[in-house]
Amino acid sequence: MFTGIVEETGEIVARERTDDGLRLRIGADTVATGLEHGQSISVSGACLTVEEYDEGAWFEVFLATETVERTYLGDLEVGDTVNLERAMPADGRFDGHVVQGHVDAVATVRNIESVEEDWFFEFDLPEGYDRYVVEKGSITLDGISLTVADLDADAGRVTVAIIPTTYELTTLSEKAPGDPVHLEVDVLSKYVERLLETRFEDR
């Protein structure tokens, strides 16, 4: 489990296509320190498993075909950056919200507006996902725990406010209209939906 609080950005330093998927080597400092084989790391919101690593320098992850198809990670090239977060320790501080690292879909940046020191990012949601989003609720975009500032459910658009620290310490500063972002909606909303569906089915 993750919290959506990005620890640092990493850089794709190598990529290798295989018959089964894609292997990425990601350069990092903090996140690549104290790693163990099999450890989970959120890479721009996708939970991936560490296969190899060089202490304090880089780590490698493998993306199965399903992960490549569900995310945009397969489109990344050497030199591109990603948001990184290690799994939350049991005794850690919970600063974000419950993030599983299971990408639901890919959303698209629609508009970016600078307002004084803050930034407002508007995203087009994939069809059907607006029902999981509520104003002032939590949403995960590229592994970042964010609060919904505005929701236009009819148009399938969501807006989030970005403070300078988040803008500077994540890949959001590199995004432009038309760019993809990984979307993970609040898992609690999906559980509530399923419970209600089951209840009405039973009736």
Catalytic residues: 2, 40, 47, 49, 64, 102, 147
User: Residue 159 class from Cβ within 10 Å (0-12 exposed, 13-18 middle, 19+ buried)?
Assistant: middle
User: Using CA atoms, how far apart are residues 133 and 120, in angstroms rounded to an integer?
Assistant: 17
Distances (CA, A) of 47 to 6, 43, 169: 13, 6, 20
CB atoms within 10 A of CB 193: 12
Distance of alpha carbon 121 from its chain centroid, rounded? 15
Q: Residue 140, exposed/middle/buried by CB under 10 A (0-12, 13-18, 19+)?
A: buried
Pairing of strands 138-141, 81-86: unpaired
Q: How far apart are CA 33 and CA 54, in angstroms?
A: 8
Q: 193 by DSSP, 3-state: which?
A: helix
Per DSSP, 130 falls in state G
